[in-house]
Amino acid sequence: MKVEKHIIQQKYLQASINPHFLFNSLTMLIDQARNSSREALAENMTHLSEIMQYAVDYGDGSEGLVTVTKELYHLEALLKIFACRFPGITVYNYHIRGERQAYLIPPLSLITIVENAFKFGDLGLYGRPLDIAVTFQENLLLFRCVNMKRTINNKERMSAGMGLNNLQSRLDHYFHGRYRMDIIDTNEVYDILLTIQP
Amino acid sequence: MNYKCVLIDDEQASLNIMSSMVQSVPGLELAGATIDPLKGVQMIRDLKPDVVFLDIDMPMLSGLDIARLIQSDTRIVFCTAYPQFALDGHEVEALDFLLKPVPFNRFMRTVERIFKQKRIHPAGDDVNDYIYVRTDHNSKYEKVELDELEYIEAKGNYVALHSTSNRKIMTHTSMESMEKQLLSDNFMRVHRSFIVALSKIKLIEYGRIILKGAGREIAIGENYREEFKERIKLKLISPK
């Protein structure tokens, strides 16, 4: 039983924060350790450990809900690390609209969406920045994330949406009938709009 | 004679780390490095490197795509943060797979494999460490050691070759043919009237170069600025 739970936990963790993100971030930190200021390095190490801590704490999905503010705090740390990995390129636009509310959502839900977009999106030299918009309305939270898609050319990318399936089952659990996940998936663009009535 | 290496990785950090590892190994030469997979393909065509270190997970063109495009005898070392990719990569013949972050001792194992390969440009083909320059009409030729050559200056129908210890040789030729003659990566046209040896630069400031030795000052021409920046980019430690 215990082992089984551990495996589920680990799978869950991998779905939300994938090893690719971890190893590429570590590569970035090693480079910073050699070529950059200590402050920048310390800052990014802090960001990364906070994200990992957050993922581990809530990795088993049993901890209930967190405030949107907490989720956004960690999402912003994730964005900062991504920005450092691609210096000189704008890899995302990030906007928060409306007055912040203390709505509760499943931990890692927004992060999963963004991570997914980074993994499958073409944000580089020839791509377009990720567009992330968080909108607070009365009794409504909207989260939209739009990315330009990479050309699909390997198996790894075919298996997109594994993290998203997981997210959907968690949302079903907490917000059955009170949420929508609208996805527009064309050849070039992946546009996801998550609407939650908390 | 070194093994020529080209690095392609869409993440600058990874490129920096791999560059410094390549540069730290005698016998390897860093011929080019880019975060742009499209430029990378061009680099492989132009430079015909012995080895290309190739990131797999890149937008536009993945490392596997690039590997399939390579026609020459260039050997491939895949670098990836995805262990799963190592399997996919077997469709393409690769010399090695490196998992990021790459430890130096693991890199050295790759180097051993590289050194067992035949070089694309064998020694002897590339004895470019000196040139002969005709200095008068009586077919007199003077030898100029390239590692002593500091800069070349256009003087009307002549060019002046300035070497260390103030040696100056005039010869009847054009800057264009000088450029073609100097195959070494160390020489670069920075101005309509100047070619400099990059290794002889002491400092760069406000669009000009100051050379070591006598401290000769050379302006960087408007049209040469971008290419110059590109050439020295790998050596730049930019402020954060």
Domain boundaries, chain B: 3-116, 130-233
Comparing A55 with B39, the larger pLDDT belongs to B39
Contacts of B13 in chain A (CB under 8 A): 27-28, 30-32, 85
B194-197 and B3-8 strand pairing: unpaired
Q: Which residue from A minimizes the CA distance to B89? A: A154
Comparing B165 with B50, the larger pLDDT belongs to B50
- With 50 as the cut, is the pLDDT of residue A158 above it? no
CB B120 within 8 A of CB B52: no
What does the block give as tokens for A182?
């609208």
Query: pLDDT value at position A99?
Result: 94
Contacts of A127 in chain B (CB under 8 A): 59-60
H-only helix segments in chain B = 12-24, 37-47, 63-69, 85-88, 104-115, 175-181, 225-232
Among candidates A70, A23, A72, A59, which has minimal Cα distance to A166? A59
Element (H, E) at B75: strand B75-80
Query: pLDDT value at position A156?
Result: 46
**Could you give the CA distance from residue A44 to residue B166 in angstroms, rounded to a whole number?**
50
CB B161 within 8 A of CB B133: yes
CB B12 within 8 A of CB A83: no
B35–A125 C-beta distance less than 8 A: yes
Query: pLDDT value at position B184?
Result: 64
Region of poorest pLDDT, from A61-70, B148-157, B209-218: A61-70
For residue A104, give how far its alpha carbon lies from the nearest alpha carbon of chain B (Å): 34
**Please, what are the domains in chain A?**
2-196 (3.30.565.10)
Quick: pLDDT tens for B94-119.
899 999 999 999 999 999 999 988 88
Sign for the CA dihedral angle at A115, A120, A125, A126 comes to negative
Residue for token digits 């100029």?
B144
Contacts of B88 in chain A (CB under 8 A): 154-156
Q: How confident is the model at residue B8 (pLDDT cuts 50, 70, 90)?
A: very high
CA B119 to chain centre: 17
Sign for the CA dihedral angle at B54, B56, B57, B63 comes to positive
Most distant CA atoms of chain B, gap in Å: 68
Site from A28, A44, A130 to mutate, B interface, most B CB atoms within 10 angstroms: A28
**Could you give the CA distance from residue B165 to residue B151 in angstroms, rounded to a whole number?**
13
> Does residue B103 belong to the interface with chain A, where contact is any CB pair within 8 Å?
no
The CATH number given to B130-233 is: 2.40.50.1020
> Does residue A33 belong to the interface with chain B, where contact is any CB pair within 8 Å?
no
Coil, helix or strand for B101?
A: coil
Contacts of B10 in chain A (CB under 8 A): 86, 124-125
Q: How confident is the model at residue B31 (pLDDT cuts 50, 70, 90)?
A: very high
Which CATH class for the B3-116 domain? alpha beta
Q: How confident is the model at residue A3 (pLDDT cuts 50, 70, 90)?
A: low
Q: At what angle do helices A162-175 and A2-16 cross, to 10 degrees?
A: 110
Does the pTM surpass 0.90? The reply is no
- Does the N-terminal peptide bond of residue B103 adopt cis geometry, omega within 30 degrees of 0? no
Quick: pLDDT tens for B44-66.
998 999 999 999 888 888 888 89
Among candidates B86, B178, B237, B2, which has minimal Cα distance to A154? B86
Contacts of B58 in chain A (CB under 8 A): 124
- With 50 as the cut, is the pLDDT of residue A154 above it? no
Give the 3-state DSSP-derived string for chain A, with helices as H, strands as E and coil as C.
Answer: CHHHHHHHHHHHHHHHCCHHHHHHHHHHHHHHHHHCCHHHHHHHHHHHHHHHHHHHHCCCCCCCCEEHHHHHHHHHHHHHHHHHHCCCCCCEEEEEECCCCCCEECCCHHHHHHHHHHHHECCCCCCCCEEEEEEEECCEEEEEEEEEECCCCCHHHHCCCHHHHHHHHHHHHHHCCCEEEEEEECCCEEEEEEEECC
For residue A28, give how far its alpha carbon lies from the nearest alpha carbon of chain B (Å): 5
**Could you give the CA distance from residue B37 to residue B164 in angstroms, rounded to a whole number?**
39
The per-residue DSSP string of B110-174 comes to HHHHHHTSPPSS-TTTT--SEEEEEEETTTEEEEEETTTEEEEEEETTEEEEEETTTEEEEES--
> Does residue A87 belong to the interface with chain B, where contact is any CB pair within 8 Å?
yes
Query: pLDDT value at position B125?
Result: 46
